[in-house]
A and B are shown apart, each in its own frame.
Chain A
Amino acid sequence: MLELRDVTVSYGMIDALKGISLNVQQGEIIALIGANGAGKSTTLMSISGITRLRSGQVFFEDRPLSELPPHEIVRLGISQAPEGRHIFPRMTVRENLEMGAFQREKHEFAGDIERVHDLFPTLLERSRQLGGTLSGGEQQMLSIARALMSRPRLLLLDEPSLGLAPIIVTRIFRIIREINEQGTTILLVEQNAKAALRLAHRAYVMETGKIVMQGTSAALGNDPGIKKAYLGE
């Protein structure tokens, strides 16, 4: 479904991605794990078209994406819940959701609002509250719900566990699995490797702009090197 071929990205003199290749198959949850600054978020940003590639190619359902602007990539069916949530703090929860469906008409997305309310009942309760007044966990839910409003076939999630209490993380990860089971393919970036490996089918491990290891979650979870570096065992 999604394929990155030898993608490089640089910010000025610094090479953030030094030749990344990965693929995501329809229906999968793929985790991209690694430490701070490994290039995980840059990978997602370059898939979304917000960061430009220096070389390499990104294909979505065999279409090259690298020349397309972000809004056309959203139209093709990829949407992202960016790192740090990036909700619109001075819009209500409802308005945030409507922004997520920006490219669609009102009558088209009425059903999607119901769907995300089913997934995240809290958001229905807080419908008229300003985004900025939500708690961190609720903001994360809003960010994911908003990304779902464009009806993506591929959902990019950037650190959904960032700064949240473990109990909320468990809840959000359960919902991510539910979204996947309803048919959305998911590429998940996480520092919380343990939780990510429990959720994902397969995973890639990144270090300083390169993919250093890949495999099924079970295999990676049992790898002694991974255990030592990321799982704290």
Chain B
Amino acid sequence: MGGILQFVKRNIGSAVIPLWVFILFLPFTGIGAALRMALTAGFLILLWNMAKRKVPGSFRASLRSAIAGPAERLSPFLSHARSGWAQVLLVLFLLLLPLFLSDYFRDVMTLTCMYIVLALGLNIVVGQAGLLNLGYVAFYAIGAYTYAILSTAFGISFWPGLALGAFCAAVFAALLGWPTLKLRGDYFAIVTLGLGEITRIVLNNWDKLTGGPNGISNIGRPVIAGHTFQTTLDFYYLILFIVILAVFSMNRLIRSRIGRAWIAIREDEVAAEAMGIDTFRLKLLAFVIGSAWAGLTGVFFAAKMAFVSPESFTFFESVMILCMVVLGGMGSVPGIILGALLLITLPEVFRDLQDYRMLAFGIALVLMMIFRPQGLLGTVKAGTR
């Protein structure tokens, strides 16, 4: 009898997880299936606990290597890929590949490229300067709406629009960053979270300027030397060009003096201050540059869809871009590209399971934090004291 009591006592904590599973699945699957899922989860956890006690550490270690192993094998391969020829071949491959694919896959590739630029921009803020930005989508939206309004109301064409969208996002970032970047730690995250929501709500309600929930349509397409960008292929090449530009400039920036100062701020802000780094100005710079890239991508998005509405700029977008940065590896350009690739293409491939996407993200992130906190290809080395 005492044995049973002790068994229950020891495993009572595990009941929390099946309970969560039940609550999470309830809206998707209804009560019966949710209950079955919860019971299965409970059973698995019980097994896990028993196995853990039998083989302490070894299962954990094998799971760790299952996640970290392939990533570690991939890392040196990617550092070899930095050589000039490999890069030329890669670009050539990316130029030719869509010619053999259907429109649908071209669209997925374009989407992936867009998120690569967004994630690279956010990486400057989160991965380099260490500022948790939960409202990144606001600057993406500002870029998109800037071009949408300029194009429909004033007939401004795409190329100056691209610069103006990035510029507007940067100005907004500076205005917001000026008072808030003096805050420390989590307060900044809360402010940006608020900003993201406020931006969406303003777009939704300022009917005269933004068209409210109906959005803005008939946005001008890019034109180059008399050729108007129309097909998915046109837009793919345009965004590929932007990606190459972004990767190139990020690589330069990360290796620069400014990049090193950002890392110092992320590692230890007090020390960075004591070293004579102007932490406030550099954090503001990271925030502004990251936001400018979001604005630029926003302009591309508006031009590609020829239509924008507040629906495209929800909190979910911010979370997803953040996931790409965290999953791929903060501070690492190849890592972030991988993160964007995984988070965009996998849900497209497993479209039928879309309802569970968020759940899978959550699980993936939790597993990452436990077993590989630096991200799949992160530069941030873990295991320090």
Known A-B contacts A70-B276, A71-B278, A74-B276; the reply to A90 vs B270 at CB < 8 A is: no
Q: What residues on B are CB-neighbors of A71 within 8 Å?
A: 273, 276-278
Complex CA gap A21/B274 in Å reads 23
Complex CA gap A100/B277 in Å reads 9
Chain B: residues with Cβ within 8 Å of the partner, total of: 21
A98 to chain B, nearest CB (A): 8
Q: Which of A56-64, A75-83, A169-177, A204-212 contacts B (4 or more CB under 8 A)?
A: A75-83
Does any Cβ of A come within 8 Å of B264's Cβ? yes
Q: A46-88 vs B: 1/0 string, CB under 8 Å?
A: 0010100000000000000000011100110001101000111
Does any Cβ of A come within 8 Å of B260's Cβ? yes
Max chain B Cβ within 10 angstroms of own Cβ: one of A74, A99, A132: A99
Q: What residues on B are CB-neighbors of A132 within 8 Å?
A: 384-385
Does any Cβ of B come within 8 Å of A26's Cβ? no
Asked if residues B276 and A102 are in contact (CB atoms below 8 Å), the reply is yes
Complex CA gap A50/B274 in Å reads 8
Asked if residues B264 and A99 are in contact (CB atoms below 8 Å), the reply is yes
Complex CA gap A48/B273 in Å reads 9
Q: What residues on A are CB-neighbors of B263 within 8 Å?
A: 88, 90-91
Does any Cβ of A come within 8 Å of B184's Cβ? no
Q: What residues on B are CB-neighbors of A88 within 8 Å?
A: 263-264, 267-268, 271
Q: A146-170 vs B: 1/0 string, CB under 8 Å?
A: 1100100000000000000000000
Specify the main secondary structure of chain B where it touches its partner. Answer: helix
Does any Cβ of B come within 8 Å of A183's Cβ? no
Q: What residues on B are CB-neighbors of A102 within 8 Å?
A: 257, 261, 264, 275-277
Does any Cβ of A come within 8 Å of B171's Cβ? no
Known A-B contacts A86-B270, A90-B380, A91-B267; the reply to A133 vs B276 at CB < 8 A is: no
Max chain A Cβ within 10 angstroms of own Cβ: one of B261, B268, B276, B277: B276
Contacting B at CB under 8 A, from A183-212, are: none
Complex CA gap A132/B260 in Å reads 17
Asked if residues A80 and B274 are in contact (CB atoms below 8 Å), the reply is yes
Does any Cβ of B come within 8 Å of A95's Cβ? yes
Q: What residues on A are CB-neighbors of B268 within 8 Å?
A: 86-89
Complex CA gap A95/B272 in Å reads 13
Asked if residues A82 and B274 are in contact (CB atoms below 8 Å), the reply is yes
Contacting A at CB under 8 A, from B258-297, are: 260-261, 263-264, 267-268, 270-278, 280
A-B contacts besides A86-B274, A99-B275, A147-B274, 18 pairs, CB < 8 Å: A48-B274, A50-B273, A70-B273, A71-B277, A74-B275, A82-B274, A86-B270, A88-B267, A88-B271, A89-B384, A89-B385, A90-B380, A100-B275, A102-B257, A102-B275, A102-B276, A132-B385, A146-B275
21 contacts between A and B (CB under 8 A): A69-B280, A70-B273, A74-B275, A86-B271, A88-B264, A88-B267, A88-B268, A88-B271, A90-B263, A90-B381, A90-B384, A91-B263, A99-B260, A102-B257, A102-B261, A102-B275, A130-B384, A132-B384, A132-B385, A133-B385, A150-B275
B-side residues, CB < 8 A to A, are 257, 260-261, 263-264, 267-268, 270-278, 280, 380-381, 384-385
